[in-house]
């Protein structure tokens, strides 16, 4: 990558939320509380993007392949000049990734992993043949650098972050989220240990983040919302 390149992809995020703002249960079981319509939306949003980003934790919890099951969506991408499948991007600070994860058994699109030099040597060796590894020497992945690499080296212009909450929060706090899709689902979970959109309740963000509603649709009891995130964090 040209180190001076600061261009980054447009970053959208997509989450299903309960009415009390939870993205999962306290046990982190697969987030399967939304409808088929929501799941269809998820792949449609994914299909418009050049890359899909999740944490290694969410990839494992949700047993994701991060693919596009619908051939029509893949054909539409090819017609637009995109690869049939988006690039798959994993994020982990510790580098603890199981090389036997389902997504590594699917080879329809490259996998790119951003982590740190804390990644255990055995994991590095196992993953080298299955993914591009970018290991930052800092304690945590440099998120602006990650996005700049995705843009410059992989041609990613539009990326969707599909979670979970901790990596969404980190991107949001760094001013790196441009758009947010939220599906409000008619469920209430409760529980202090079930993560919210920004994780378990904890410290405030450095500043509150204003959102501008761009679209709202109610289908079958769920509310589909699309927000633009303020271009700059207020000081």
* Binding to ligand NAP in span 21-40, by CB under 6 A: 23-24, 28, 30-31
E strand intervals along the chain: 10-18, 51-55, 87-91, 111-116, 132-136, 158-161, 179-185, 211-219, 222-229
The tokens of 118 are what?
């804390």
Q: Does 53 bind ligand NAP (CB under 6 A)?
A: no
Indicate whether 131 belongs to the interface with ligand NAP (CB under 6 A).
no
Nearer to ligand NAP, 72 or 203 (CB): 203
Question: Is 164 a binder of ligand NAP (CB under 6 A)?
Answer: yes
How far apart are alpha carbons 57 and 34 in whole angstroms? 20
Q: Is 227 in the site for ligand NAP (CB under 6 A)?
A: no
Give the x/- contact pattern for ligand NAP in 82-101, rule: CB under 6 A. Answer: ---------xxxx-x-----
54 vs 68, beta carbon nearer ligand NAP: 54
Tell me the sheet residues that pair with 181: 14, 226
C-alpha distances (whole Å) from 8 to each of 135, 139, 145, 181 are 19, 22, 9, 20
Given the rule CB under 6 A, which residues bind ligand NAP? 15-16, 23-24, 28, 30-31, 55-58, 61-62, 91-94, 96, 140-141, 162-167, 170, 195, 199
């Amino acid at each position: 990558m040209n180190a001076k390149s600061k261009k980054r992809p447009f970053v959208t995020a997509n989450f299903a939320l309960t009415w009390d703002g939870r993205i999962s249960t306290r046990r982190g079981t697969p987030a399967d509380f939304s409808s088929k319509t929501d799941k269809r939306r998820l792949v449609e949003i994914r299909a418009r993007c050049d890359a899909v980003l999740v944490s290694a934790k969410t990839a494992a919890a949700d047993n994701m392949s991060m693919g596009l099951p619908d051939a029509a969506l893949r054909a539409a991408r090819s017609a637009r000049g995109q690869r049939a499948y988006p690039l798959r991007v994993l994020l982990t600070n510790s580098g603890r990734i199981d090389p036997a994860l389902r997504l590594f058994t699917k080879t329809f699109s490259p996998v790119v992993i951003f982590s740190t030099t804390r990644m255990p040597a055995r994991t590095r060796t196992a993953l080298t043949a299955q993914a591009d590894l970018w290991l930052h020497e800092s304690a945590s992945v440099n998120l602006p650098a990650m996005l700049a690499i995705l843009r410059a080296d992989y041609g990613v212009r539009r990326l969707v972050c599909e979670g979970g909450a901790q990596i969404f929060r980190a991107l949001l706090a760094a001013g790196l989220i441009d758009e947010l899709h939220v599906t409000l689902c008619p469920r209430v979970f409760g529980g202090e240990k079930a993560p919210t959109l920004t994780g378990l309740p904890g410290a405030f963000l450095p500043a509150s983040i204003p959102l501008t509603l761009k679209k709202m649709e109610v289908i079958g009891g769920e509310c589909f919302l699309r927000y633009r995130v303020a271009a700059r964090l207020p000081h």
